Structures are given as C-alpha cells and as structure tokens.
Chains A and B, each alone.
Chain A
C-alpha cells in the first residue's frame, strides 16, 4: 500500500511540474489568470459586504459569520481551481476527440489519471490571500483552539465532497460525449453551494442536502464550527462522501466500458 501511495505521489509530482512547465510557457495568460482569481475573490467579498451595509443579519448570521463562511468557500474554490478545475474541461475535450485513449492505457487508476492530471500553478499565487482572509474572519468569529485544529481537515473534507459530486456529474460525459453542458451544470452547482443552506427552503434544500449534497460542502463544517450541536451535519457529510465514492466507482466503471473512442 505504501509503495502504491509512493508511486501515485511520484506521478502527481510530475503532473505538477509538467503543468507548471506548460502554464509558464504562456506568461501573459499566466499573469491574467492570477488577476482573474484576485478580482473574483474581491468581487465575492465586496458583494456580501455591500448587502450587510443595508441589513444587520442574513438568516441567523451576522456580517463576520457570513464572511467567514464565504472565505471558507473561497479557500475551497482556490484549491479546486488549483488541483482539479482544468482537468474537468480537458476530460470533456479528451472524450470528444478520442485523446482519452492514451490516458486509459496508462498503468494507473483512470480516475486519478483523468482528474489529477492538470495543476493550475497560477492559483497558487492567490492562496496566501485566500487563506489570510479565512484566518482573519476566523479570528473575527472567535474560533476556539479546537476549531483552528479542525479547520484544515474540514477544508479537505469539503473539497473531497465537492469534487466527488463533480466527478460523478462528469462521468455522464461518457454517455453525452459533449461535456460543455455538464461543465456549466457543475459550475452552477458550485455557485449554489457558495451560499449558506438557510438561504434555501423546503424541497430544494432537501434535494441539495440529501440527493446532491452540495449544500453540505460549506454549510456542514461552518455550522459545526459555530455550534457544536450541529454535529449531525458533519456526520451526514462523511456518510455522503462515503456513499458518493461508491457511486463514483460503479458509474465510472460502467462509463469507461461504454467509451467508444473517436475515430482517428
């Protein structure tokens, strides 16, 4: 097992270094991507701040609480952009053009070869900013020592849940061939999860918590950090992750057998 992990880690390091080589070949684009992330971050923070200039509470949360939630989600988004986002677009392109052939041939798990292949180094430059703001708002909402200790694990757990949901959605590209619609659906799902769960009511909230648990990604850990009696959300999140990984393994296996590879 350790040997296998070491092999995957070795390959992943090469994914990172080759991605950096590719990305830095185009300097202007590299710099533009850093600025794009930068503007996205401040426009998100700015929108929420602007709303709080006119209201005291949104749902049960005050300004600092919602901004902590938002920076938590933006930190996840930053990691997502860095580690996964490019691979989703490439996957759609590879299925359509038949370039996936070579990925399938590699002696590794295909989920790993497909979704971890492209690393976006430009996002790394904004990581200190994203994490810095998360820490700042964490201080504002008086996180305890235990909360700070749990925070990195909760970020990883949230990111894992988000990407597993997205992996499952992307698997449908084996049937649809054109992944553009799925990729936009994926982005809309992320958008829904960027707001706390109390924004949504009734049936929609149930669907987005139980069926496609995108609301658990941010709301689960942040509610738990604010109020330890909300531990059920965290347990639901872990259970959902476990079940979704199983669903992913089954659907991926069926999907890859269905792949018919575009002609040359």
Chain B
C-alpha cells in the first residue's frame, strides 16, 4: 500500500455488517448493521457480553466465520479494498500478511506437536515474504521482539514447554510476522493472570506504536477496553449501542446499556464498603487456620509440590476474608482444604472453636452445616439430572432434622432470598442462565444458614453485568444472614469491593495480609504492588493522550 492510498482510506472500514447463523432451521441474527472505521495506529475495542456478536464481528472481518454463518450484508474494506466477498484464494493471501488474528485461547491455538519456531516460520512460507534461509534468524528476531529473553533456545521449544503468557506471545509473533496493517485481537488475554495480562497488552501497545498497526480488540472486559483503546464500540444483541472516543464513553456513556455495563463492572468502581469489624469489640472468630500446608506427591522423576505452605489467618463472624493470588498461587487448594475436600499435610483448621483437622469424614460430615461452598462454574456445579428444588433441598435433607414440609418451606424462603421466582423449583438447571444458576448455587450453600461460606471465584465465570448483581446479592445476604465469607479471587477490583481482610498468596505462601484498605492503599510487598498496578481500568490510554 502506498502512502497516498493509505491516507485516502482508513486501515479498516466496516460498513453495515450483518451476519446470521442457521441452527436447526432457525435463523439467528448475530450481527446487525455494525459499522466502524479504524485508522492506522489506532485501536478500537469491541465490547460486549457473551452472545453480543462481538466475536462473530471479529470472525467476519477476517473471513473465519463458522460454516453455518452467513454474511447477510455489508462491506469490510481493508485499506480501500473489500475483502468480505473476496474469493478464498485472495483471502488466503491477505490473511496473515495484511490482516492477522490473535486468537483467544493460547492453550489450544498452537499445534502441540510442532516447535513454535516452525509455526512462526509457516507464515513466511505461506506468503513467501522472506527467503527460506532467512526464516530462522527472522523467527528468532520476532521472538526477541515479543519479549523472549532466550529466543535462540526457545525457538525450538514445544508449546507445552511454555507458559500461557509465553504462548500468547508466540501467537502475537505469528500475527505480526508480516507486519500486517490490521490485527484482530479476540480476547487476547482473557485466560491470563492480571500481571501477565498487563505485560502482554503493554507489548501489544508497544508493537502497535512501532508498526502503526490498526487493532480491533474484541473483549468482554470494559476495564481493559478503557485502558487499551482509542475508540469503543459497545455491542448488544448484534447492534452497536454506543460508539465514541474511549475517554468520552467511559466518562459519560450515552446509552442506558453502556451505563449499566459501566456501573456493574466491579473494576471501575470505588469501594463503599463499611468495615464490618469493630476494633473495640472484636467479633468471635468462626474459622481459624494456622500453619496450613498441603504437599502433592510428585510423579515419577519429579519432586513433590508444595501447593500451600504455612498459611495462617482467622475469620471473625460476619466478615469477609479474601484470598487473592494468580493461578498456581494455592488459593483454590486452600479453599478445598477449608471445606475438607482434601486433607492438609500439616497445620490446623479450627471451625467454631473446634479443631477438625484429624477428624474423619464420618465424624466431620454433620459439622458441614457450619461451612458451605459456592463454586466458580455454575454450569458444572449443579447436577443436570435434578431440578432446582431438589438441588437446593439436598443439603437440608442430608444435614438437617427437618421434615419434608419444613424443608420445602426453607427452600422456598431461600429462593426468595436469592431473588429467583418460585416456579424455578421444578425446572432443571439447563433452562437457567449463568447468573440464575449461580443464584441457585448460592441458595444451596445458604439454605443451611452456615457460619462460613467459601466462595471459590463465584463470579469470574459470569458476564460483567451479572457479576455486579451477584456481588450485590452476596453482600445483602451477608447482612441478612450474618455469615462469614472466605472469598477466593484473582480479581483485585472485586476483592476491594467486598472484603474486610485480604490475604495475598503467591506460590503457596502468604505474601501479605491485613485489612483490605491497608492492602490496597499501602501495600507492603512488591508482589502486591505488582498485582495492584496490573488491575485494568481508569483509561490509561486516554490519560496518556491528554497528558
């Protein structure tokens, strides 16, 4: 592309794009009349919840729609040429050279049987842009550019030898190999830890400045969008409901939906939590953990693995203690230890003043009345064969002395408490949405009125607008029932909103713990500071542009 042409046309112009899917004879309009421009060197964030059509938009632009999808109308102009209706051969030439994709899931997007260097060089081979003898040095150069420190060695690594963040870097290297004018990044960091997410997005920003690439960043995360884009298009039911400069959209959204999204995205909110604990009258400690450790035996030839190492904390009645950390920090193992789904290697767990570390499951079972769990994934934690009523009733049946009519009354009360209609009782979980299912899971955990509820990432599998609602529900239920929460999360923004006390875990050890406000305003350890700095939100790019 010559300079004059590039100046005449935006790097990417999408006009009136409509895409529909045909499933079982019914037509579903996934994208309806979406239009936007992206100039070279600019980023547009396509934001929406699941089912909003954001991923379909991305796929349509790069011509990778599913087989049952059909483009109903519209144009996708790449530097002035329409590529939407282009024949497969032309599209093959364009893809990977002038427009490239960074896919969502780095764990499945690389071929596990081929070395990463070969997979990068494939782009050179396909497009003949680099002579064969240059493949290896160019590949190493690319890996260095995306931040591999030992690129010469890592070029011959297999994907499984790399971490999630490194794999995503390889995918970025593949995307930028031929210096494309446009990159479609489909949730490029959604599976990554916050610190890795920040480094990956920083890298993408840096490469964009260097190469002048236009980026279409598809994301569900409004906070990420606010940091990493120049313009935002908010999609809902396949239509653009809000479009504008990022700073303007974040500061003053015009549509109700965008306002709703913004207000429910926890990361963009300020905590208004009033601390529950009163230093003058210390509450009763309901759960106390000291020196907790869990060692998993290693496989043949590898050493055993200390997942949790000397963790101690205590939870006062009615308060929320959060355990935060990245993947592999041991936070989920801690949750499983607390609920005694696994046995600790050493250390003590005291529930309501009674040590149950040494007790057998038979002895402990009736004590489970006092400690209940809500799991991360409401699609996996509800038995598909039971009805909602049966699911909620189950702990009552197992652990209470109540008669059937009393149980049913309890179930119906708790259903009201989690704001679900009574007619859900007879329905199977598959007919419920993710948020509704999580309400059922919360109802099941609270129906016994436990003293402690362990919440293992209870909102991270849900859409942003639903996340806010579930958090609100959890907070109000805590006020009504007086349960203590142990809240496991990787999301510091959420943690800040609902915790009284925070425990920061890294590699199985407690890095830092203290009152929530202190952790967030005066973090003592480098690790906590790093975590805090990585939290997206606040419109970094807009701020940088203004300053």
Bound pair (A, B)? no
Chain B contact residues, CB within 8 Å of chain A: none
